[in-house]
Amino acid sequence: MGASEGLNIGLGGWINMFLMLSGIGSPNTLKEVLRGYTGDINSNQIYNSHDEINLFNLFKFSGKLFDKTFGGNYLRPFELATFRLNNMIEIIQNWNDYILDTEFLTQRVSTFLINDQNEIIYKYISTDILNYSEKMNRPIDFLSQNLDK
């Protein structure tokens, strides 16, 4: 289907992953990492004020911290980075459930939308380690643009 295998220099999944996280073979990764720390006024916020955030069972706080520090109704600085850190914690704690073979660590995501005639009406193939949509500030916009087809 043309999905990207990601970077493979022949030294194993971990080396490939670290290279891609540093931007090698993954051109928009550093931009996306920075967006996680700086925020994005064109994106929706992730956490609401009532959401409880728990990092390593050491740091517990609510989404109110983002509200009080940065306001609301947009992706605030450190909000996406916090979300990604929570995802990383989940994966590390359940490594054997998520990662069956480190050879495939750099395999990229693809999205296909198929109509009732089994025709592909939308296709996105990521080449980056952190991107999963053409528009990362509005990742599911493709649905509203294609569901009537």
Cβ contacts of residue 147 below 8 Å, gap of 6+? 113
| In the block, residue with structure tokens 């990492």 | 33
- 131 in helix, strand or coil? coil
Q: Residue 109 falls within a domain, yes or no?
A: yes
Q: Which domain holds residue 94?
A: 13-43+76-146
pLDDT at 149: 66
Four-CA torsion 58, 62, 65, 66, nearest 10 degrees: 110
How far is the C-alpha of 13 from the C-alpha of 103, rounded, in Å?
Answer: 4
pLDDT at 80: 97
User: What single-letter amino acid sits at 47?
Assistant: Y
Q: Residue 129 falls within a domain, yes or no?
A: yes
Q: Residue 124 falls within a domain, yes or no?
A: yes
Q: Residue 86 falls within a domain, yes or no?
A: yes
Q: Residue 101 falls within a domain, yes or no?
A: yes
pLDDT at 109: 85
User: What single-letter amino acid sits at 131?
Assistant: N
Q: Residue 62 falls within a domain, yes or no?
A: no
Which tens digit of pLDDT belongs to each residue from 33-64?
A: 999 999 999 999 999 999 999 999 999 999 99
Total count of domains within the chain: 1
How far is the C-alpha of 119 from the C-alpha of 115, rounded, in Å?
Answer: 6
Which tens digit of pLDDT belongs to each residue from 62-113?
A: 999 999 999 999 999 999 999 999 999 999 999 999 988 888 888 888 899 9
How far is the C-alpha of 125 from the C-alpha of 114, rounded, in Å?
Answer: 15
Q: Residue 105 falls within a domain, yes or no?
A: yes
Per-residue confidence band for 146, with pLDDT thresholds at 50, 70 and 90: confident
Per-residue confidence band for 30, with pLDDT thresholds at 50, 70 and 90: very high
- 61 in helix, strand or coil? strand
Count of C-beta atoms within a 10 Å radius of residue 148: 7
Q: Residue 132 falls within a domain, yes or no?
A: yes
How far is the C-alpha of 25 from the C-alpha of 61, rounded, in Å?
Answer: 36
